[in-house]
Chains A and B, each alone.
Chain A
Amino acid sequence: MNPGLKLLLTILIALEISFTTNLVVNLVLIGASLIYLLAKKIKWLSLLKLILVPFIPAFGLLVSQLFYGHGGPIYAWILFSRIYAYVFIGATFTITSDITELALTLEQNFHLPAKFAYGVLAAFNLIPKIQAEIKIIKTAGMMRGVPLHFWSPKLYFKAILAAISWSQNLAEAMTSHGFVEGQARTFYQPMSLTLKDWLSFGSILVLVQLLIIFAPTLP
């Protein structure tokens, strides 16, 4: 499916389950996402991470609801499964979509300002740089005799400074490479938004509605 439409779909479904208190709906969505991910040949390590990383917050939520909440055990399990539903639905987008294609489709098919599309892309390309930068900031701090921890304001000050200077440099680099806000550009890799994309988008959305309406609620 077109990555832009896929992103929209995952956001819509995630929004809907935020207002749905039905365990079956969550389980079906998790199951369907899992099947989709397996069909797309997700790496076992990524899958393991998807299961393990949300476990602590999900488990915390479960325990606090079970012991201190007033919603009962089913409600606690709904909250637990909802976190996994978010993660798995999100993964159906992140694991199977290319961020460059997302930026291209946002610009070409959804007619978002090119500045926004390339901003998203640039931010994404910055992620490894941000991780390396944090390491550099911490080491540089130690070399100055100032250990920086994740709660140290200086760490954030330096990280934000780096981000500001990157954004300024990025803007200059883009301008110097001929990018002009609002000016027409040609597209080397045209992105398509086909009837088939809309049909799958529509049918999945309808199926989810049917699921939400007709899924049995557990007592």
Chain B
Amino acid sequence: MTQVVVSDFTFKYQHQETTVLNHINTTFASAAFNLLVGPSGSGKTTLLKFIAGLYPQFSHNAATGSILFDHLAIDSLSEQQRCQQVAMVFQNPNQQFAMDTVQNELVFVLENLQTPPAQINQQLNAALSFCDITDLKKRELNTLSGGEKQRVALACIVAMNPAVIVLDEPFASIDPTSRQILIKQLKELQLNQQKTIILADHDLSDYENIVDNVHQLDSTTGKIQRLTPKASQELFATFNQQQHDLPAVSLPDTTQQPIVTLNDVYVGHPKRQLLHQDHFNFYPGKTTLITGHNGIGKSTLFNAITKLIKYQGEISYQQQNIQKLRNLKYAQQVKLLFQDAENQFLEITVQEELALAKKHRNNAFYDDQTIQQILTQLNLANHLNQVVYSLSEGQKKKLQIMIMLIMAPPVLLLDEPLKGLDLQSIKVVVNLLQTAKEQLNQTQLLISHQLVGLAPLVDYHVNFADQHLSYEGVSA
């Protein structure tokens, strides 16, 4: 039972011109499920980290105004008091843990809270069982899928038992089922244990009947607004309207020449088989969407196709075994849009990244004027001299997509390309991908949990389940 009051709060990064959070005032109601929405780059992560008390300790920038937990300023609390008040689940599932195994991480958490050793086992098991992940107890964190990691992250929070739980787009790369499970568990924490939930998300599905309040951040003014019930309803309605399930696509014509072929391919961890496929074809000049549950191995499949990991069996590109192709030559043909945008960057500033992309592009389809146009459409035109690593996650993603489009490879694998993008940006990106496919005959393999706005692009749909890939749709 703690309410969080943000009053007259202002924050600006030292090297950036715009103020991220501009004299914002809002109240996150006690024991309520508060949803924070706003386009990418609007400062949601920044605000949440301030609420969680992680800034300014980790970021030496000036902020003014105050954040109060029931009349207690977050920056006046001792660290121990702060831990009882608030804990946070982060956006990136790979960077939340200090220890090696699930059990050790939970032990670490409970030791930090000075839990008597005799009670640790019981509390640890209770947290795991609340989150329904008792079977993960002994697992190494490195071997868990993104969705499993987020469930462990929530278990850590449950063990800590803070009054306020802050979550920064915790579902950005996890499948719909895990997402629903986690939202349900958060709702239980709110209703049964009177936790105050503050959660940021772009994807508004599943929240309509769950959240109590919606707070909207505006990226142009840097202001926050608590929406009236009517305004929230409208927001959800607009979102639902745009949220089309994929229309039935047709099955591919299997007589055409495939571009990427899997033959008796076996991919997996020593203890866990992910994919075991006798024969599978991907077809050229089309966009193939691959869907499947969280942790099923979709990213791992892309890692195999790009030779990032070892596998058994044969993967061929244009009827040639990719293991026999020279790495550099193959990398010019088949490129991966990494899920983590930073992996794609080699230079320092946005401008330099674009220049490098132009230098090594396969063709000059995108001239300077078009590039300038796209920059404006994606709201990146004012960031040309900015260091890429200081961009927001959404801006990084947009730049990354631009780079890969400029390079125009014959085959582009896209791993969650819409992650962290607002609806407007999604529209622009989908259009660009559509153009690349139509004009350059690009083959696109796509992994996305985010289906909003994607429908016009998708030609074929592959379902990944039970270690198998299979096309879904109606016969052409």
By a beta-carbon cutoff of 8 Å, the part of chain A in contact with chain B is: 100, 118, 121-122, 125, 128-129, 135-137, 139-147, 154, 158, 161-162, 165-166, 168-180, 183-190
30 contacts between A and B (CB under 8 A): A100-B99, A100-B104, A121-B99, A122-B98, A136-B308, A139-B331, A143-B335, A143-B409, A144-B344, A144-B360, A145-B359, A146-B346, A158-B346, A165-B389, A168-B58, A169-B95, A172-B49, A172-B58, A173-B98, A174-B98, A175-B54, A176-B52, A176-B90, A177-B160, A178-B83, A180-B80, A180-B83, A185-B112, A187-B117, A188-B111
**Cβ of B57: which chain A residues have Cβ within 8 Å of it?**
175
Q: Is A186 in contact with B98, judged by CB distance below 8 angstroms?
A: no
Query: Considering the chains assembled together, what is the distance between the CA atoms of A141 and B107 in angstroms?
Result: 39
**Cβ of A189: which chain B residues have Cβ within 8 Å of it?**
107
The 3 closest A-B CB pairs, nearest first, are A145-B360, A178-B112, A142-B331
Q: Known contacts A145-B332, A187-B117; is A170 also within 8 Å of B95 by CB? A: yes
B171 within 8 A of A: no
B304 within 8 A of A: no
Query: Considering the chains assembled together, what is the distance between the CA atoms of A145 and B332 in angstroms?
Result: 7
**Cβ of A170: which chain B residues have Cβ within 8 Å of it?**
95, 98
In the complex, how many angstroms separate the beta carbon of A138 from the nearest chain B beta carbon?
Answer: 9
In the complex, how many angstroms separate the beta carbon of B57 from the nearest chain A beta carbon?
Answer: 7
Q: Quick one: which of A122, A136, A140, A146 has the most chain B CB within 10 A?
A: A140
In the complex, how many angstroms separate the beta carbon of A119 from the nearest chain B beta carbon?
Answer: 9
B96 within 8 A of A: yes
Q: Is B115 in contact with A118, judged by CB distance below 8 angstroms?
A: no
**Cβ of B346: which chain A residues have Cβ within 8 Å of it?**
140-141, 144, 146, 154, 158
B224 within 8 A of A: no
Partner among B113, B116, B357 whose Cβ is within 8 Å of the Cβ of A178:
B113
**Cβ of A183: which chain B residues have Cβ within 8 Å of it?**
79-80, 112
Q: Is B142 in contact with A129, judged by CB distance below 8 angstroms?
A: yes
By a beta-carbon cutoff of 8 Å, the part of chain B in contact with chain A is: 49, 52, 54, 57-58, 79-80, 83, 87-88, 90, 92, 95-100, 104-105, 107-117, 120, 142, 156, 160, 306-308, 327-328, 331-332, 335-336, 338, 342-344, 346, 356-357, 359-360, 389, 403, 407, 409
In the complex, how many angstroms separate the beta carbon of B80 from the nearest chain A beta carbon?
Answer: 6
Q: Is A188 in contact with B343, judged by CB distance below 8 angstroms?
A: no
**Cβ of B160: which chain A residues have Cβ within 8 Å of it?**
177-178
Q: Known contacts A173-B97, A176-B54; is A144 also within 8 Å of B407 by CB? A: yes
**Cβ of B92: which chain A residues have Cβ within 8 Å of it?**
169
Q: Known contacts A142-B331, A187-B111; is A161 also within 8 Å of B357 by CB? A: no
Partner among A100, A158, A188 whose Cβ is within 8 Å of the Cβ of B110:
A188
Query: Considering the chains assembled together, what is the distance between the CA atoms of A141 and B407 in angstroms?
Result: 13
**Cβ of B117: which chain A residues have Cβ within 8 Å of it?**
186-188, 190
In the complex, how many angstroms separate the beta carbon of B252 from the nearest chain A beta carbon?
Answer: 26
**Cβ of B308: which chain A residues have Cβ within 8 Å of it?**
135-136, 139
Query: Considering the chains assembled together, what is the distance between the CA atoms of A139 and B308 in angstroms?
Result: 7
In the complex, how many angstroms separate the beta carbon of B46 from the nearest chain A beta carbon?
Answer: 13
In the complex, how many angstroms separate the beta carbon of A207 from the nearest chain B beta carbon?
Answer: 35
Q: Is A176 in contact with B112, judged by CB distance below 8 angstroms?
A: no
Query: Considering the chains assembled together, what is the distance between the CA atoms of A110 and B80 in angstroms?
Result: 25
**Cβ of B99: which chain A residues have Cβ within 8 Å of it?**
100, 121, 125
Partner among B95, B97, B343 whose Cβ is within 8 Å of the Cβ of A136:
B343
Query: Considering the chains assembled together, what is the distance between the CA atoms of A139 and B359 in angstroms?
Result: 18
Q: Is B389 in contact with A186, judged by CB distance below 8 angstroms?
A: no
Q: Known contacts A139-B331, A144-B357, A178-B160; is A186 also within 8 Å of B338 by CB? A: no
In the complex, how many angstroms separate the beta carbon of A186 from the nearest chain B beta carbon?
Answer: 5
**Cβ of A169: which chain B residues have Cβ within 8 Å of it?**
90, 92, 95-96
**Cβ of A144: which chain B residues have Cβ within 8 Å of it?**
344, 346, 356-357, 360, 403, 407
**Cβ of A180: which chain B residues have Cβ within 8 Å of it?**
79-80, 83, 112
Q: Known contacts A122-B98, A142-B328, A187-B117; is A128 also within 8 Å of B112 by CB? A: no
Query: Considering the chains assembled together, what is the distance between the CA atoms of A121 and B105 in angstroms?
Result: 12
Q: Is A171 in contact with B58, judged by CB distance below 8 angstroms?
A: yes
Query: Considering the chains assembled together, what is the distance between the CA atoms of A124 and B74 in angstroms?
Result: 33
Q: Is B87 in contact with A179, judged by CB distance below 8 angstroms?
A: no
**Cβ of B110: which chain A residues have Cβ within 8 Å of it?**
186, 188
Q: Is A172 in contact with B90, judged by CB distance below 8 angstroms?
A: yes
In the complex, how many angstroms separate the beta carbon of B392 from the nearest chain A beta carbon?
Answer: 15
**Cβ of B107: which chain A residues have Cβ within 8 Å of it?**
188-189
Query: Considering the chains assembled together, what is the distance between the CA atoms of A135 and B80 in angstroms?
Result: 40
Q: Is A185 in contact with B114, judged by CB distance below 8 angstroms?
A: yes
Using A154-B346, A174-B98, A176-B96 as known contacts, list a sample of 5 further A-B pairs with CB atoms less than 8 Å apart, ordered by residue number in A: A100-B100, A143-B344, A145-B356, A145-B360, A173-B96
Q: Is A140 in contact with B79, judged by CB distance below 8 angstroms?
A: no
In the complex, how many angstroms separate the beta carbon of A106 from the nearest chain B beta carbon?
Answer: 15
Q: Is A146 in contact with B356, judged by CB distance below 8 angstroms?
A: yes
**Cβ of A190: which chain B residues have Cβ within 8 Å of it?**
117
**Cβ of B105: which chain A residues have Cβ within 8 Å of it?**
177
In the complex, how many angstroms separate the beta carbon of B166 from the nearest chain A beta carbon?
Answer: 9
Residue on B with the closest CB to A141? B346
**Cβ of B335: which chain A residues have Cβ within 8 Å of it?**
143
Q: Is B120 in contact with A188, judged by CB distance below 8 angstroms?
A: yes
**Cβ of B359: which chain A residues have Cβ within 8 Å of it?**
145
**Cβ of B58: which chain A residues have Cβ within 8 Å of it?**
168, 171-172, 175
